[in-house]
Structure 1
Amino acid sequence: MKDTAKHQGLRNQLVSLLEQKGITDKNVLEAIKKIPRHLFLNSSFEDYAYQDKAFPIGAGQTISQPYTVAFQSQLLEVKKEHKILEIGTGSGYQTAVLCAMGAKVYTVERQIELFKKTSVLFRKLGIRPKYFASGDGYKGLELHAPYDSILVTAGAPIIPKPLMAQLKIGGRLVIPLGEDVQIMTLLIRKNETQFEKHEFGEFRFVPLLEDKN
C-alpha cells in the first residue's frame, strides 16, 4: 500500500481541477490533497484514481467522483471537532476526507461486505472515525445525537425523519434527493420545527438502501 511522489503530484493536479470547478474551501482542498484515493479503489482502477470519476467498489456501490466528495464536504462547512454523522461509509474515502478536516466522524454502512472491507482499510491507513458500524442509514444514529452536520452519500427518495431529528439547531444536513437523478439538497435547522432548504442542481448517486428486516 504505497503512496508515492507521483500519487501526490496527481492529487495536486486533481485539486487544481476542483478549484477550476468552483471548490473554494481550503480545508476541503487540503484534505483531498492529503488522502490517497488510489488506496480506496480496487487495484485495477489505480491508474485512474485521480481522474474526476466515480468507480465501482463492490456490493453494487461506488466511490463518488472527487468533485462530488468536495462539493458535499464544502456544503457542510466543517469546523475542527465538529460531530458529523455520515450515512453510507462505502469505500471510506469521504470518511477519510472528513477526518482529515478535523471532524469527529460517526459513520454507518448497511452493506456488511463493504463494512468489513473498509474496517480493514481504516486500520491499515490509521484512519479513526469516532464510531463505525453496520446499520440502517434511514434510522441515523440516535446513540450519539445531536450532530453538527449530517451527510448522506446515497440518493434518497425522501429525507428520513430520524436524520432531521438528530441534527443540532443551526446544523446542516446534506442529502441527494430523488430516484434516478438526485438534487443535491442542504437543510439548515433553524429551530425545533423549522428547516431552511437550499438546492444545488443534479447529481447521480447509488440509492440509499433501507433495512427491510
Structure 2
Amino acid sequence: MATPSYSTIVKDGLWDNNGVLCMLLGMCPTMAMTTSATNGFGMGLATAAVMASSNLLVAIFRGYITYEVRVPVFILIVASMVTLVDLTMNAWMHELYKVLGLFIPLIVSNCLPLARLESFAAKEPVLPSLVDGIFMGLGFTFALTAIGAMREIVGSGTLFADASLLLGPAFKFMEMRILPPEASVLVMILPPGGFLATGLLVAGKRLIDIRAGKAISMGGAHCVG
C-alpha cells in the first residue's frame, strides 16, 4: 500500500481524521483538561510532543519490533517520551505542569498515540511517520483548545485566562475578557460542559463535511455525508 502524500497526512491530522472530532479518542484529557483554552492548549502540545517523538522512534526501529511484542514495546516507547515531556515541563513550565498534574503521565494510556503507532508508524517510512505524529498531535491540540475556548468563554467570560502565568510572559497578549462575569454559565466549566462542548464541535464538523460533500469519519469508520 502506497504511503499517503504529505498533504493528505497534514489534512488527516488537522481535520479529516482528527483524533478527537472524528475518531473520538483521548476523551479523558479532552473532558478533564479543557476547562480553559490555556489548559487545553498546554495538554495538546504535551501530547503532540509525545506523538511526534514516539512515531519517529517506532518508524526507525519497526524492522526490529516483532508483531508479538509490538504492543508492550509501543507502550514502553510512549511511556519513555511521556517521562521526558513530564520532566521538561516540570523544569521549564512549572506552573502549567502543576495545573495539568496527573494527566501528563496519563498520556501513556491515551488511545490516540498508540493508535497512530499501530496504524501508521509501524508500517510507514520515518519522515512520513514523523509528520503524521506532528500533525495528529496538532489536530489534537486544536480540538482541545477549541473545546476549552468554548467552555471558558461561556462558563467564565474569559479567553486564555492566566496564559502568561502558565505558558510564560510572551503569552500575555492572548488573555482577554469576552463576556461580563454576570453573563457566564457555570455549567460549561463543570463536567457536563465538556460533553456538551465536544458534542457541539463534533456535530459542527460533521455538518461542514457534509456540506463539502466529504466522507464522514467517526471512530475509524467512514460513511458518505
TM-score strictly above 0.5:
no
- Which protein is richer in helix relative to its size? 2
- Which protein is richer in strand relative to its size? 1
**TM-score, normalised via structure 1 length:** 0.30
Q: Which has the higher contact order (CA 8 A, sep 6+)?
A: 2
**TM-score, normalised via structure 2 length:** 0.28
